[in-house]
Structure 1
């Protein structure tokens, strides 16, 4: 307000030109880095043969990482289910889910690192499918992080296009997580 009581709207500061381009490149670099790290873990798995004690430690770390990563994904999806049922605002759901990104990435990183020590059978088609699912999961995770930041800037009503992107991202995430879990279970029980 000015001194004479007239409300004045102060426009937001303009964004620097090209800021969106830099963010897009950062996302592409993050996607590339996640694929390269997965490839590095696959390469490492062909070179390292841990003794039984280290194998058991890696198996425990693998299962613990699964609990952390998939558990965080399920909780994040639960927040959006609460929003869909009118129990949370969209902003609350986005904010709550964004706090779980570290746990999701910690779980996924732990799965990849410990999986390298579990001597995966790279000649098995099921293992190759599982590794592809993990790669898609990593790229989708980067996309979900970027999408979450965009969703945090949105006011009600939420654009349908953004909801569709969020729904597709969630579907890909669930498909990859559960597909990898099922394949891992089947490989472990053979």
Structure 2
């Protein structure tokens, strides 16, 4: 049951993150309006946080090997994902002022970095979880 809940939480959380980050990439490439990414991020923040919380809660019942270096890296990635999510939320609030104006470069670079950290963290933790489940 814990494994099913873990996978379900991964689908919900990572799926929502993929949607937000995809819109962010399209925005950075000039193919979507800033309002599109901000609306998508606002709409999907609940599934993202529920997915992350579900992963943490169900992960406890999977009895992770805390002595394993891979498990420790995964836990570090989860921490990074959480901090980055809080940072991205704050960044979104700052970007909201520029819905109909050009966004300053000082916000473009951090936006791209936050999306990159998000993807690396979620996929890295998922890959480690997959590898740990097959050992």
TM over 0.5, shorter chain: yes
TM-score range, shorter chain: over 0.9
After TM superposition, which residue ranges in structure 1, 4 or more long, deviate above 6 angstroms? none
Q: Is the 8 A contact 1:95 1:152 kept in 2?
A: no
Q: Is the 8 A contact 2:17 2:48 kept in 1?
A: yes
**Residue 177 of structure 1 aligns with which residue?**
122
Structure 1 residue runs of 5 or longer lacking an equivalent are 1-56
Greater C-alpha radius of gyration: 1
**Structure-2 separation of matches of 1:160 and 1:183:** 34
**Residue 187 of structure 1 aligns with which residue?**
132
> Number of residues paired by the alignment?
134
**Residue 105 of structure 2 aligns with which residue?**
160
Q: Helix, strand or coil for the counterpart of 1:100?
A: helix
When normalised by structure 2's length, the TM-score is 0.94
- Asked if residue 125 in structure 1 is aligned to residue 69 in structure 2, the reply is yes
Q: Helix, strand or coil for the counterpart of 1:175?
A: helix
Q: Please report the RMSD computed on the Cα atoms of aligned residues, expressed in angstroms.
A: 1.2
Q: What does the per-residue CA deviation read over 1:131-166, in whole Å, with 9 as the maximum and x for residues that have no partner?
A: 011011111111111111111112421111101011
**Structure-2 separation of matches of 1:152 and 1:165:** 14
When normalised by structure 1's length, the TM-score is 0.67
Q: Helix, strand or coil for the counterpart of 1:121?
A: coil
Q: Is the 8 A contact 2:64 2:71 kept in 1?
A: yes
Q: Is the 8 A contact 1:59 1:114 kept in 2?
A: yes
